[in-house]
Structure 1
């Protein structure tokens, strides 16, 4: 089989309204927050971010994640071929099989949203290593993020809050935000040029942030990664655009024919590559290593699935992998933790929540 590479589909320009783009970038990547200033009134904090996510969602959805609320649990394993060991001493890259618990989701705080509410999808994974360590990662189907800093993300959230009269973001506020933050242009351009995939199974998922990999000799390098599907990419169809919940149905149908596979492609930074800016994509000609194959062989419901109680904090890493200097990483960790705390508390106080809410992602 030919070694896969990160897909470089031919750009296809599609109309995309400013308000729609704003709604997409406002709910991406799981609620980033600023961890500095926790005890300082008026400064950014995880509660301020999560409260704002709740406001953007429009109404309370107790027991659900504050972002990426709609999703489904998946499970399978990762077959390492051993090649990743040249970059990292992490046990996950030793040749062999590692159990994986995962989750697919779409952005937003509404667990009953349409699958087409965003062109972006997410894949979150927990690798349970044999030595007891875990590797958790949350990835998006876009190679870049919309903003550089937590402060920018907060301002973007504010600009994206629905107008009371229309229930939609105010285009004028979004236009002002983009004019003041030109760093958003690469993300906007990528979304406009790449139609969403027709399935969760034929999309690539990207780490977005950079991480530090350390090998057995102590050498450290910055790395980004992507899960690249063996299933060929195909754009969403008109029939799918008219459906509300086609992604889960499509995935279940595909799994009836056998497991689905992605290749873990590690991309190594060159000197001078930005490691602290998720809005900037590295060039395509970097060193890439196929570290093995992710195999997803079944799905389970959000109410009963193994991913239900997992906080996919991307800073929970095995020895041999560390966060980079990207300010969004520590911020993601803080926001994920607060979202997890709130939803699990709500479930404890009101265990009947998910007995009545069965359509959408639980966790």
Structure 2
């Protein structure tokens, strides 16, 4: 996949990568954000309702092989799983549609995003880098959060420690446009719900966990039995804003279940595969299109730029 030609977009993407490195340090071979992770393999099986929403290949095939990556936040490859800064958790899914043909979903465990645009997100990171989280009074971060209510709401949203990567819900950041074979289109955001239900640790329980408790646990869990999730889409109500990741839709909005993600094994060489794979937040296949959310092209460029550098390391 080639890089975009928009010079402003490329410059903003590089500035964001540089800012992540300024906050966390630079670790060749690892992502600037969500550096620590683990990969698994499995299968996606769609529901009958999936074809009614989209003509996408994996939503109409009997089943599709998948590769997934769970991750901690931060750009620190050795961040403890029970460090508060390691939340929200990430969950990326690749649907293997054919030889060198795939489509991805990138999600995290907090519903929403702190900013509407990449420029705002860069301002947020710069404020974070120049502030002491333990003494926010009068800091650049306090000023930013005071003038950006969506960012304040995101920061204040509870981010409990999951018992397992397999007992957490995950959310697509941006809306997608789903079109079925009849040409009918609806916008929606992904929701990925654990079959085992949401299970969390208290802060006190989390403090007593090992630094790799989630990575170790998911390996033991998948060795004992398949780890399952329901892949669903929250449908945008008529007239809803679909190009701003900071805006939530009503809680009672329609949800369509697309199918079951069934994870059956750890990847054979998880470190090597994490270094090589570059997830793409833009679907790039018939039946699912990106919305006009400005974060999409930016995130795609960041993932590609940092991914190429990671492969070279």
Q: Is the 8 A contact 2:275 2:310 kept in 1?
A: no
Cα deviation for residue 131 of structure 1 reads 8.6
Helix, strand or coil: the match of 2:201?
A: coil
**Counterpart in the other structure of 2:120:** 152
Is 1:230 equivalent to 2:199 in the alignment?
Answer: no
Give the secondary structure class of the aligned counterpart of 1:213.
strand
- The answer to whether the 8 Å contact 2:58/2:64 transfers is yes
Displacement, 1:329?
0.4
Q: Distance in 1 between matches of 2:271 and 2:154?
A: 33
CA gap 1:180/1:255 in 2 versus in 1, 3 angstroms: same
Unaligned ranges ≥5, structure 1? 1-34, 347-363
In the other structure, the counterpart of 2:63 is 97
Pair 1:215 & 2:215 matched: no
Q: Could you tell me how far 1:288 is from its partner in structure 2?
A: 1.5
Return the TM-score normalized by structure 1.
0.78
- Give secondary structure in 1 for the equivalent of 2:122: helix
SS of the aligned residue for 2:286 comes to: coil
Spell out, residue by residue over 1:180-209, the C-alpha distance to the aligned partner (whole angstroms, 9 max, x if none). Answer: 2122233234x23x5232210100111121
| 1:162–1:343 Cα change, 3 Å | farther
Q: Secondary structure at the match of 2:121?
A: helix
- The answer (yes or no) to whether the contact 2:223–2:264 under 8 Å persists in 1 is no
Instruction: Check whether the contact 1:37–1:45 (CA below 8 A) recurs between aligned residues.
Output: no
Maintained 8 Å contact 1:74/1:103: yes
C-alpha deviation, 1:332, in angstroms = 0.3
| Cα distance in 1 between the residues matched to 2:262 and 2:135 | 42
Alignment partners' CA distance in 2, 1:39 and 1:138: 24
Distance in 1 (alpha carbons) for counterparts of 2:92 and 2:223: 22
**What SS is found at the alignment partner of 1:45?**
helix
Residues 42-84 of structure 1 show CA distances to partners (whole Å, capped at 9, x for unaligned) of x952211111111111x32111111111001111110112311
Encode CA deviations 1:324-359: one digit per residue, 9 max, x unaligned: 01100011011111101211122xxxxxxxxxxxxx
Work out whether 1:80 is the aligned partner of 2:46.
yes
Matched with 2:169 is: 204
1:303 is aligned, of 267, 271, 275, to 271
Change (3 A) 1:68 1:271: same
CA RMSD between the two structures: 2.2
- TM-score, scaled relative to structure 2: 0.90
2: CA distance, partners of 1:339 / 1:169? 30
1:62 alignment counterpart: 28
Q: 1:186 to 1:155 in 2, by over 3 A?
A: same
Aligned to 2:279: 312
Q: How many angstroms apart in 1 are the aligned matches of 2:277 and 2:228?
A: 22
Q: Is the 8 A contact 1:133 1:318 kept in 2?
A: no
Higher strand share: 2
> In the alignment, what sits opposite 2:302?
335
Q: Which residue of 2 aligns with 1:21?
A: none
Deviation track 1:98-137 (CA, whole Å, cap 9, x = no partner) reads: 0001101011111011112333101001101259742111
